[in-house]
């Protein structure tokens, strides 16, 4: 008996169904290495972030206006003097809810629902699938139609929060151009903060939600030359979204660690000029 025609009326090719392969994969390369490295990289960042947040100290250097990005903006009454650039509307919630809990959910929400990071932790943490042409261990798949993965659709809303956080970190970088004598100065910390904020803006603006925001819901690009130009620029950055995701993740941790070491008195800031 021949196969029924498809939607176009053409006959479907005869097939024997999906091939049954007893082994997990027939690949001979090291297909497990990329998901393993991703798992180790993301796990290291999560461990550092948890320890850093609940350490809840050494995040402000008043001499140079250095504020660790994990604690920016510092909106809690528990913030050390000088670290709250936008007031302290959040009450002191105790040691189990340090100041970053007011902002961290929005930052993590943007990262966790990002299209690249979905791919990264789906493959490395959930093994769904760990690599192309590798059988995944799950018997069923419901996609992002049910809880909790349906919450991934909130990415477009977290994007707006990420824009605000990027603006705040930009402000932190501007005021970090402070010299030891109260004038204008620059140190290694200032340079690292500047690189970090550039990478964060590039990662945020290369987001798929930003690409849809500047170029979506348009029938004719010719009638919207400015938005078409913006869409082209975002599209170019979107092609580097994976690299920008990792670079900005690394830069945030590096700046935070550098400020921590200075605030703790372990190292001194390398001043370029005061």
CA distances to 33, 73, 117, 181 from 265, rounded to whole Å, are 39, 23, 35, 19
pLDDT band of residue 1 (cuts 50, 70, 90) is: very low
Q: Note every long-range contact of 38-44, with CB atoms under 8 Å and residues 24 or more positions apart, other chains counting.
A: 38/120, 38/121, 38/123, 38/124, 39/124, 39/125, 41/246, 42/120, 42/121, 42/124, 42/125
pLDDT band of residue 219 (cuts 50, 70, 90) is: confident
Helices 115-124 and 104-112 cross at an angle (nearest 10°) of: 80
Residue 173 has pLDDT above 90, yes or no: yes
Tokens of 269: 């800031």
Over residues 67-88, mean pLDDT? 95
Average the pLDDT over each of 26-40, 137-151, 172-186, 203-217 and give the range with the smallest value: 137-151
pLDDT band of residue 135 (cuts 50, 70, 90) is: confident
Give the strand pairing for 271-273 and 60-61.
unpaired
Over residues 111-124, mean pLDDT? 94
Residue 3 has pLDDT above 70, yes or no: no
Length of the chain: 274
Domain boundaries, the chain: 33-273
Residue 25 has pLDDT above 90, yes or no: no
Residue 15 has pLDDT above 80, yes or no: no
Tokens of 55: 């350490």
Task: Report if pTM > 0.85.
Answer: yes
Residue 74, pLDDT score: 95
* DSSP class of 265: T
């Amino acid at each position: 008996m021949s196969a029924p025609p498809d939607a176009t009326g053409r006959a479907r090719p005869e097939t024997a169904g999906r091939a049954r392969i007893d082994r997990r994969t027939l690949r001979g390369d090291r297909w497990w290495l990329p998901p393993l490295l991703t798992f180790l990289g993301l796990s290291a960042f999560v461990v550092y972030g948890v320890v850093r947040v609940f350490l809840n100290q050494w995040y402000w250097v008043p001499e140079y206006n250095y504020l660790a990005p994990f604690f920016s903006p510092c909106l809690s009454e528990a913030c050390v003097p000088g670290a709250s650039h936008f007031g302290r509307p959040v009450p002191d919630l105790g040691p189990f809810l340090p100041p970053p809990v007011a902002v961290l959910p929005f930052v993590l929400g943007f990262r966790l629902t990002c299209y690249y990071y979905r791919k990264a932790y789906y493959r490395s943490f959930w093994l769904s699938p760990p690599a192309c042409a590798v059988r995944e261990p799950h018997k069923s798949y419901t996609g992002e139609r049910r809880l909790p993965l349906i919450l991934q659709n909130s990415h477009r809303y977290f994007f707006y929060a990420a824009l605000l956080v990027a603006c705040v970190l930009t402000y932190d970088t501007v005021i970090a151009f402070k010299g030891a004598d109260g004038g204008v100065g620059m140190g290694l910390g200032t340079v690292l903060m500047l690189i970090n904020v550039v990478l964060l803006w590039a990662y945020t603006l290369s987001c798929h939600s930003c690409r849809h925001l500047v170029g979506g819901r348009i029938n004719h690009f010719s009638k919207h030359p400015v938005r078409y130009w913006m869409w082209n620029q975002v599209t170019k950055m979107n092609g580097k979204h994976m690299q920008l995701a990792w670079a900005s993740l690394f830069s945030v941790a590096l700046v935070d660690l550098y400020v921590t070491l200075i605030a703790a008195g372990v190292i001194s800031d390398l001043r370029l000029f005061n």
